[in-house]
A and B are shown apart, each in its own frame.
Chain A
Amino acid sequence: MSKTQSLHDSTPDKAPVVRFAMVLDLRRCVGCHSCSVACKSENEVPLGKFRSWVKVIEKGRYPDVSRQFLPALCNNCDNPICNRNCPVRATYRRPDGIVQVNQHRCIGCMYCMASCPYDVRYINPLRKIIQKCFFCDHRVDKGVEPACVETCLGRARIFGDINNPNSEIAQTLATNPVTTLKPDLGTEPHVFYIAADYDAMDPTSGVDINHIHFEHPF
Chain B
Amino acid sequence: MDQNFVTVLYNSPHQIPLGKLLAQYFYLTGLSAGSFVVSVIAILGGKSEYKALGKIGAVVAPLCLVLAPMNLLTEMAQPLRSWHLMTYLPGYINLKSPITYGVALLTSYPISAIIYAFFVYTGNMKMSKIFAIIGIPLAISVHGYTGFILALGKGRALWNTALMPTLFIVSAMVSGIALMMLIAIILNVFFSKDKSQEAIAADRELIYGLGKFLGGVIIFDVFLIFNAVLVLLTSSKEAWHVAELLLWGRFAVDFVGIELILGSLIPLFIVFYPKTARNLKALSFASILVMVGIYAMRYTVVIGGQSVPLH
Contact = CB atoms under 8 A, between A and B. Distances in A.
A59 interface: yes
Contacts of A123: 15, 17, 77
B93 A207 contact: no
B46 to A, nearest CB: 41
Interface stretch (B59-67, B153-161, B176-184, B261-269): B153-161
A55 B10 contact: yes
A116 interface: yes
A115 B3 CA distance: 27
Interface stretch (A15-23, A100-108, A140-148, A149-157): A100-108
Contacts of B154: 81, 115, 117, 185, 187
B85 A107 contact: yes
Given A107-B76, A108-B76, A118 B310 contact: yes
Contacts of B16: 114, 214-216
Interface stretch (A162-170, A171-179, A196-204): A196-204
Interface stretch (B193-201, B215-223, B237-245): B237-245
A111 B7 contact: no
Contact of B149 (A58, A67, A111): A111
B292 interface: no
Contacts of A120: 14, 311
From A54, A57, A129, residue with most partner B Cβ within 10 Å: A57
Interface stretch (B47-55, B97-105, B124-132, B135-143): B97-105
Interface string A175-212: 00000000001010000000000110011111101101
B216 to A, nearest CB: 33
Interface stretch (B34-42, B108-116, B278-286, B301-309): B301-309
Interface string A77-104: 0000100111111100000000000000
Interface string B136-178: 0000000000000100111110000000000000000000000
Interface of B: 1, 3, 5-20, 72, 74-78, 81-82, 84-85, 91-94, 96-100, 103, 149, 152-156, 237-238, 241, 244-245, 249-250, 306-311
Closest 10 CB pairs of A and B: A108-B77, A206-B6, A117-B155, A110-B17, A87-B99, A113-B17, A119-B310, A108-B78, A128-B77, A115-B153
23 contacts: A57-B7, A57-B9, A58-B7, A59-B5, A89-B93, A105-B81, A107-B78, A107-B81, A108-B78, A110-B77, A111-B149, A111-B153, A115-B156, A117-B310, A119-B13, A123-B17, A128-B78, A130-B77, A203-B310, A205-B3, A206-B3, A209-B249, A215-B15
Interface of A: 49-50, 53-61, 67, 72, 81, 84-90, 105-111, 113-123, 128-130, 185, 187, 198-199, 202-207, 209-210, 212, 214-218
